[in-house]
Structure 1
Amino acid sequence: MGTVSNIGFPSVFRVPLDSQQALSKQMKNKSSCCFMVPPNHNYSIRPSPIRCNKLSESGIEENPTTTSTSKRPSKNKDRMEEYNIAMKRMMRNPYEYHHDLGMNYTLITDNLIVGSQPQKPEDIDHLKKEEGVAYILNLQQDKDVEYWGVDLQSIIRRCRELEISHTRRPAKDFDPDSLRNGLPKAVSSLDWAFSEGKGRVYVHCTAGLGRAPAAAIAYLFWFCDMNLNKAYDMLTSKRPCGPNKRAIRGATYDLAKNDPWKEPFENLPEYAFEDIADWERNLIQDRVRSLRGT
């Protein structure tokens, strides 16, 4: 797989309608790729089988796990086209989200699943029955849910009925600064869920291609004795996606920074905080766990 670009992107959720035509001309190439995990590496959490396959050349997932395949009105197709144009431009990656194919997800480790947004209560039934999910971490903002017309309250009610813990840690879509600021609390929720040990954890954003995989990678980096590149390559080899690596590095810097006179993150080289010392990892874990309940 070619390297996923981590260039920053502006904090814009929707592309103005009058600029879509100009943007769409830049989006003709839909190549897909996948990272490979380096051989003979031992991880703290054992990798598990893939749950949904890589993107095809058309940009559509091959054989995705889905709970809804019915046709949607053309209005939803317009939303998808608009969203994918924005994602390709601002995240600098070739991936697409196909809301009309229903929820899709990937089993990253034995107890961690990364995926797209549940769209209806039946998706919660599926996660509980088929995957043993006991915790759901939602990184969407209210406007993300409203954009797709998802009834979030019905999903939350179903979670309560099935005794699934549902937690929200909103971060702004396509905004690396918002992601950087939100990662510590999101990872705190992941760590708490894993410590409870009642079942698998499902972490999602809208498409499961940016914010959610970033939170999962940050957890693997901070709590599972991996450096950032190992954690990033491990996840993206299973679920092709383009989470912003710089946002994860920035959050790592924020948590490990212990001296007020430390060099500003913006002045550091691109490889800074791709790995951390044991004392830094311990400090990060203590600070993340102190965020529980906030």
Structure 2
Amino acid sequence: MNCLQSVGHSRFSALPWPKRVDAHHRRTAVFNGFVGTGSLRVAAMKTSSNSRSSLYEDETEEQASSLDAKMTDLSDREEKSEIYSSNMTQAMGAVLTYRHELGMNYNFIRPDLIVGSCLQTPADVDKLRSVGVKTIFCLQQNPDLEYFRVDINAIQQYSKELNGIHHYRAEIRDFDAFDLRMRLPAVVSKLSKIVDINGGVTYIHCTAGLGRAPAVALTYMYWVLGYQLDDAHKLLQSKRPCFPKLDAIRSATADILVGQWKARVTFKWDGDDCSSVDISGLDIGWGQSIPLKFDEEQGAWLLERELPEGRYEYKYIVDGEWVYNSNELVTSPNMDGHVNNYIEVFNEDVNIEARQRRKKFMDGDAELTTDERKMIRQFLDSYKDDADLDEEEAEVRASATSDAIASGTIGVPDKA
């Protein structure tokens, strides 16, 4: 079922113990070369100095307390990874796993392009810098960072203190193909302008590096670097198994080349034998829902919503239970046997030629002509996402100039 639900999961440990146990249980552990049990207090060797023995016990108690705290934190991160992986699998329609506790992971897609998981500490900036990265491009939203307790401010501040590497953000909602579609033009426009200035290797990441980041990298290769979509997708998958939403990329491409039209759609749940009906999916993603209103005349729950052209999956939530409506179009069962409703939205007032061009992209024939590539590039170059983009571009150029001066690439004019 393509919805986000937190469910219970078994946990396992990445540490070299045969099984994970809670911090307050007895265990055997290796710590700084000593082996101990219970509270991990190591008995000091008998000595004539009672103070020395007491000091040793104090030190080992502190060590034990520190280890317990680390194990509790590890357990927490493992559980969060389990829940996140489950939600990602359900929302993306593919079995995907992310282990945050194992640290940042990534793959070179091209010599100048890397796709990976999120940075977790400022030390990860040094790791990326060591492989030639000049641009870190973060797609995470604040709730993503807060979930895994990532201090983005510390990472950004450390990046500013270094020469030759820069950190930027361009947020896309997790597990949301519609938000990806709508944000791709702004995000890829920003990315291409930054890369044009910074050069070097670019690191694109989301949380797990399996959905949003691969999709942005793929779109950048398709719109900017001259790849056809299928070729770029094959290259991406050969380097990093992942699950970018191709329909979102095709829709965003058609939005630029053909235009975006909207149509008003009514969703209906018959019956007055329930106290609440919501709908999830559509253009709001699986992590949110919208309530339907009960219409006494029709004896049904209704929602009217204006949607851009495209295909949308959704599900009803009736008195808290996720269900599909058998009176509306349904998808084929997924790998778990779950079914969603779906709707194809189109505007009948759009001319036939424009509709056929959009259909061409959505049916899989997404190859771009030279003129279409030129049109997309002009669109990206002229795109303004928000009021502070000019200020950010100026900062990028100033940083690039500062780096060039520091490295001796350009000289500083003599003072008069």
TM-score, normalised on structure 2?
Answer: 0.52
Distance 1:205 1:199 in 2: 20
The equivalent position to 1:271 in structure 2, one of 332, 351, 363, is 363
Deviations 1:230-254 (A, max 9, x none): 1111111100001110011011111
1:286 and 2:378 correspond: yes
| CA separation of 1:209 and 1:265: change in aligned 2, threshold 3 A | farther
Alignment of 1:64-103 (within 5 A): 72-103=73-104
Q: Helix, strand or coil: the match of 2:124?
A: helix
Contact 2:115 2:209 in 1 (8 A): yes
| CA separation of 1:266 and 1:89: change in aligned 2, threshold 3 A | farther
Letter in 2 for 1:206: T
Distance 1:236 1:120 in 2: 27
RMSD: 2.4
2:211 matched residue in structure 1? 210
Distance 1:116 1:180 in 2: 21
| CA separation of 1:197 and 1:166: change in aligned 2, threshold 3 A | closer
Q: Which moved more, 1:270-279 or 1:168-177?
A: 270-279
Give the share of equivalent positions with the same residue, in percent. 37
Gaps of 5+ in 1: 1-8, 25-69
The equivalent position to 1:16 in structure 2, one of 1, 6, 9, is 6
Letter in 1 for 2:355: E
| CA separation of 1:149 and 1:225: change in aligned 2, threshold 3 A | same
Deviations 1:181-231 (A, max 9, x none): 111122112212331244211110000000001011001111222211111
Q: Helix, strand or coil: the match of 1:232?
A: helix
Higher strand share: 2
Q: Helix, strand or coil: the match of 2:135?
A: strand
Alignment of 1:1-294 (within 5 A): 14-17=4-7, 20=8, 72-128=73-129, 130-163=130-163, 164-257=165-258, 261=351, 262-263=354-355, 270-272=362-364, 274-291=366-383, 293=389
Deviations 1:21-70 (A, max 9, x none): 7xx9xxxxxxxxxxxxxxxxxxxxxxxxxxxxxxxxxxxxxxxxxxxxx9
| CA separation of 1:138 and 1:265: change in aligned 2, threshold 3 A | farther
Q: Helix, strand or coil: the match of 1:202?
A: strand
CA drift of 1:265 comes to 8.7
Q: Helix, strand or coil: the match of 2:208?
A: coil
| CA separation of 1:81 and 1:168: change in aligned 2, threshold 3 A | same
Q: Helix, strand or coil: the match of 1:135?
A: strand
Q: Helix, strand or coil: the match of 1:108?
A: strand
| CA separation of 1:235 and 1:203: change in aligned 2, threshold 3 A | same
Contact 2:139 2:206 in 1 (8 A): yes
Q: Which moved more, 1:267-276 or 1:133-142?
A: 267-276
Letter in 1 for 2:91: M
Letter in 2 for 1:218: T
TM-score, normalised on structure 1?
Answer: 0.73
CA drift of 1:95 comes to 2.1
Distance 2:75 2:186 in 1: 37
Letter in 1 for 2:374: N
Contact 1:103 1:119 in 2 (8 A): yes
Contact 2:181 2:249 in 1 (8 A): yes
| CA separation of 1:264 and 1:168: change in aligned 2, threshold 3 A | farther
Gaps of 5+ in 2: 11-69, 261-349, 391-416
CA drift of 1:15 comes to 2.2
Contact 1:193 1:201 in 2 (8 A): no
Contact 1:137 1:190 in 2 (8 A): yes
Letter in 2 for 1:286: Q
